[in-house]
Structure 1
């Protein structure tokens, strides 16, 4: 699959032949695709599917988050150019197609009172204006499956919340010939999923496995918070924990190094000695060799649990 000699050659994706199938993942910023579902995308490309990521914003409001980045002046001078280059490299590593939706990063408001969103930023403009570029991508690419964030965006960044909103709007209306005129011929997407990268069950399993291996685990505080919220304790951040049950697990153990390489491609944003790399891949392969998803809607017959995002589509005539 890969021409990169540092990545392992994979002879079997573990998935059925996916030739003719198309998967679209919608993300807020360059680097989100690497931390949420990258191994799944690499696996499906290997199985023959076409996989595309649509990135909503330019990432211009990002900070330099990697203390080991060797060219801080370059980031300070033109972070947008840096992040465009990083996104192109991540897409090359995963062998996926990529589209920019063309919006400016909204940033993460802070302060008391909260900062206002910059005028014209992705989260500040009307929903229809924000959805139109995604609708064009959908009607051109014609995905069978769309993957996006849940209703709190995975975490409540304004751009993640807006990414959820435009994804739902586009999923519901892409097949309507009267909706979004001028964005192409209608196309009905067959299945909608939420990414479940922060699955509490997964985090607990990995935490326990690390302790059993006499390793330090970084997840104790997060699990304590999960438990307090589950017990009904008052917590101002309780609303951030959604309760979608995982319906679909994609076995991705052969593609963890592809995920890691895609993360490292975003080297202005990802600390190469940080939290994304705390858990050894061999431990993941043994204790949680999947990436997790929640099936939200399906226009084809399928049954849960699933081990394939295209379940129900493989016996259906494809366009």
Structure 2
């Protein structure tokens, strides 16, 4: 996965909320950043409606967490530390978190939230950002959002739209805007494939440890949830520490004694040293399975 010295490869990872960049493809972005790729994380919302998911969380001095503005400010501060841990750049699209509606029937989404913004209005700032940053590769969520959070689904729609529209000079025209740019590859993150969960689950059981995946595997099997195709595995165990540091930076969201840390890192590194992706679209020839998001780009005229 080395690149020629003259190449400046660029990767854009589009996420819904602060902390998503640290739980989905984080070790991969840390690896690429360490290897000289220009990595930009784009966060669509400020995470203003995220619940406190860490039972040990204490609001830091000089911050408050009772208003959308207070949550936004604190989660921005957390995001800054996480980006530094991963070694990536990060920017905000500036939309407001939609929250995760609960109940039957589901309540309406809050007025003005990200999920309710018309697609072209929501995609416009990302299209301009793509044209200015000029990524060779983009990553985001599959059409389901990975799980049915309205912001994750909207994030997919916005990133998908930007991938297709940024290279079209007739669309999203802005006075003084950047020139069109067509990203070459689009990937969807895959965090918890059944293959991965079974491998880790069996390793944990073999070591006499309690697995966090047992009930999950059984429920997914019982519901016959279809598996999306994994085309690309990035070896990145060396960067699990950076991923973990980024996760812990999101102290309001990540329980240090919770799910993300339930598997000993030596077990994980031995049986599953990869992060997985699905190649959704490519404008360059490539053969799957891949071990590099820039397969088909490195060493070609496309790496410009």
TM-score with structure 1 setting the length: 0.90
Q: Is the 8 A contact 2:194 2:227 kept in 1?
A: no
Residue 193 in 1 paired to residue 195 in 2? no
Aligned counterpart, 1:68 = 56
Q: Distance in 1 between matches of 2:227 and 2:52?
A: 32
Task: Name the counterpart of 1:11.
Answer: none
Match of residue 105 from structure 1: 97
Return the offset for 1:279. 0.6
Q: Matches of 1:123 and 1:113 in 2, distance apart?
A: 18
Equivalent position SS for 1:75: coil
Q: Structure 1 unaligned segments of length 5 or more: list them.
A: 1-14, 231-240
Per-residue CA deviations over 1:246-268 (Å, capped at 9, x if unaligned) read 11000001000000000000000
Contact 1:247 1:293 in 2 (8 A): yes
Determine if the alignment matches structure 1 residue 169 to structure 2 residue 161: yes
Deviations 1:111-137 (A, max 9, x none): 232111111110001000010111111
Corresponding residue for 2:2? 16
User: What is the match of residue 230 of structure 2?
Assistant: 246
Which of residues 35, 39, 42 is equivalent to 1:51?
Answer: 39
Match of 1:227 in 2: 221
Give the alignment's TM-score, normalised by structure 2: 0.94
1:154 offset after TM fit, Å?
0.7
Which runs of structure 2 are paired with 1:1-319 in the superposition (5 Å)?
15-17=1-3, 19-71=7-59, 74-76=64-66, 78-182=70-174, 183-230=177-224, 241-317=225-301, 318-319=303-304
Cα distance per residue 1:44-65 (max 9 Å; x no partner): 0111100011000010001111
For residues 169 and 242 of structure 1, the distance between their equivalents in structure 2, rounded to whole angstroms, comes to 25
Please state how far the C-alpha of 1:242 moved relative to its aligned partner: 4.7
CA deviation after TM superposition for structure 1 residue 226, in Å: 2.1
Q: Is the 8 A contact 1:64 1:75 kept in 2?
A: no
* Cα shift at 1:316: 1.4
The number of residue pairs the alignment matches comes to 295
Return the alpha-carbon distance in structure 2 between the equivalents of residues 298 and 104 of structure 1.
Answer: 31
Contact 2:3 2:299 in 1 (8 A): no
CA contact (8 A) 1:60 1:105 kept: yes
Larger deviation, residues 64-73 vs 300-309: 64-73
Kept after mapping to 2: 8 A contact 1:75/1:268: no
Kindly provide the CA deviation profile for residues 63-113 of structure 1, in whole angstroms up to 9, marking residues without a partner as x: 111111122773235111110000011011111111100000011112232
- Kept in 2, the 8 Å contact 1:173–1:179? The answer is yes
Q: Distance in 2 between matches of 1:112 and 1:213?
A: 42
Instruction: Work out the CA distance in 1 between the residues paired with 2:105 and 2:58.
Output: 36
Greater than 4 Å deviation, 4+ residue runs: none
SS state at 2:255 partner: coil
Look up the SS of the partner of 2:75 in the other structure. Answer: helix
Query: Aligned in 2, Cα 1:111/1:227: closer, same or farther, shift over 3 Å?
Result: closer
